[in-house]
Amino acid sequence: MSAAPPVHPARPLSRAFVADYVVTMRPYLLFVSGITGLVGLALGPSVRLAETLALAVVFFLSYGFGQALTDCFQTDTDALSSPYRPLVQGRLRRRDVLAVSLGGLLLGGAIAMRHQVLNVPLVLGIVAGLATYTWFKRRWWAGPFWNAWIVAALMLVAWLAAVGAAGERPGWNAALTGAVTAVFFGYANFVLTGYYKDISADRATGYRTLPVVFGTRVSARISDAFAILQMAGLLLAWVALAPAASPLALILGGLFLAAGCGAVALGQLRLRQVTEATAHAAIAPVVHGYILSLAGVAALARPAWASALALFYAGYLIALRRRPMPEQI
């Protein structure tokens, strides 16, 4: 039997490198950070369309740069659970991925910081949090929460950028409290349910996640608690925004929100029925619910965005269908 031909890493910024780096970014999950940024922008003051679009692109891409950065530190478990990934296969060099990821995150952060100086500590904290996530993922008590605060901070970066772009001063309100709560616990739930698909790989490589340490039944109860707290945050945001909303905004936001809450509930029900091999059947509704429910908050605050939010969700569905490994979300 002949040996497999050696794998030569792609040169930085070559066509092969870009193609493999895009796979590493998980295009179907860029919509998670995208909607997180959009809800932050929606809860801020109105800014010019060009600035809104530029910031939306920054937040859309941030998940991909962050995911590529964290992948550099967990190729051990990825080699078992996600052997298709370019870093695992040696098609990308770790140092090159680190450089591009850090560069992308800092460039996007610089755009957000240009609008609002208060974003400086948040952006630097997000980058540091992403770089240290693997250490926390190995500890059952930390992984979901560590990832969740990073994403919640991203929403605040978006809100502060809008405040700064409009030349206003930040002022906290109940809608922001509800939205941050929904983002934090909704994303923590996505992280926890995502661990279900990697239990054997995580166990073999020393990642003591909640499902590895306590099993799937206990983890499902904790996931339920996260989902309930997510719903509580959504309810608080809705109650805070509804009095000033038009009937059209209530209808449009309500449709998104109802679909999102239904998807989250479906994910919680499926979580008790799946195996490691079929975990994606429960994870997918959790992600659908995260995107749809936050789109509901954004549509309630900005009903003029409703059609764009619907197209955004359609784009997510297309990207999700094209993911390279169906079992991985």
Could you please report the per-residue DSSP string of 27-42?
A: GGGHHHHHHHHHHHHH
In a domain, 5, yes or no: no
In a domain, 2, yes or no: no
Core vs surface per residue 201-225: b (16+ CB within 10 A) or e: bbbebebbbbbbeeebeebbebbee
Residue 245 gets the label, from left (phi > 0), alpha (psi -120 to 50) or beta, of beta
Looking at residue 329, what is its pLDDT? 77
Dig out the tokens for 137 from the structure.
């993922």
Please, which pLDDT band fits residue 92 given cuts at 50, 70 and 90? very high
Q: Which domain holds residue 271?
A: 15-321
In a domain, 8, yes or no: no
Q: Model-level pTM?
A: 0.94
Looking at residue 8, what is its pLDDT? 81
Looking at residue 326, what is its pLDDT? 75
In this prediction, residues 280-286 reach a mean pLDDT of 95
Instruction: Kindly report the average pLDDT of the chain as a whole number.
Output: 94
In a domain, 78, yes or no: yes
Give me the number of domains the chain comprises: 1
In a domain, 10, yes or no: no
In a domain, 326, yes or no: no
User: What does the DSSP 8-state code read for residue 167?
Assistant: T
In a domain, 111, yes or no: yes
Distance of CA 69 to the CA centre of its chain: 14
* pLDDT beyond 80 at 6: no
